[in-house]
Structure 1
Amino acid sequence: MGEHKKRKSYTGRVVSDKMNKTVVLTVTRKISHPRYNKIVKRTTRFKAHDEKNECKIGDLVRFIETRPLSKDKRWIVLEILEKSRTARLDESAGASRGAEKP
């Protein structure tokens, strides 16, 4: 009765960050088609809780399952594994612009 299952954990890419404290993530997997034996990509979308609104579009994140937080949200973002290239370019451009102005 006191046994706890290990929570499921996935790695996915952020495709939307428009909602407050929520991100939409995609996880792509490759499967073999049962009849044609061709490798096909399947994409699953998850809504996950992002407490600090840190995730941006294109970020690679690790997320785990949790209790239901809303109608669709049953996942929490654990960590950002890799920032998106556009986010890094925006940060560096902002820093260089600030350095040019007195």
Structure 2
Amino acid sequence: MKRNRKILIGTVISNKMEKTVVVESERLVMHPKYKKYIRKQTRCYAHDEKNECQIGDRVMIMETRPLSKLKRWRVIKRLAK
């Protein structure tokens, strides 16, 4: 049985590769000393089978098996253009 896979929502920042997009996702983290929330970004390489994602699209990506040296995520659906 498959374990629960992580799901992220982010923005496509690059689609220059064939069937691959770079998705940047943002989260809030509290600074340990100053107790102020800081925005942190994570960039993931995701597999886009249909080459349909454009720069600026909001997408939902899901963790998957390693597809290449860098790709560990797969685009599930486009949320907004």
- Post-superposition shift, 1:4? 2.5
Q: Structure 2: give runs of 5+ residues left out of the alignment.
A: none
Q: Which has the higher strand share?
A: 2
Q: 1:31 Cα shift?
A: 0.8
Alpha-carbon distance between aligned partners in 2 of 1:11 and 1:36, rounded to the nearest angstrom: 28
Residue 45 of structure 1, aligned match among 35, 43, 51: 43
Aligned to 2:15: 17
Provide the residue aligned with 1:66 in structure 2: 64
Q: 1:29 aligns with which of 22, 27, 30?
A: 27
Structure 1, unaligned stretches of length 5 or more? Answer: 84-102
Instruction: Answer with 1 or 2: which has the greater Rg.
Output: 1
CA distance in 2 between counterparts of 1:14 and 1:82 reads 11
Amino acid at match of 2:27: R
Separation of aligned partners in 1, 2:4 and 2:68: 22
What is the aligned length? 81
TM-score (norm 2): 0.97
Which consecutive aligned stretches of 4+ in structure 1 deviate over 3 angstroms post-superposition?
A: none
Once the two structures are TM-superposed, the CA of residue 13 in structure 1 deviates from its matched residue by 0.4
Give the Cα separation in 2 of the matches to 1:49 and 1:5.
20
Structure that is richer in helix per residue? 1
Report sequence identity in percent.
53
User: Match for 2:34: what amino acid?
Assistant: Y
Q: What TM-score comes out, normalization by structure 1 length? A: 0.77
SS in 1 for 2:16: coil
Q: Which has the higher contact order (CA 8 A, sep 6+)?
A: 2
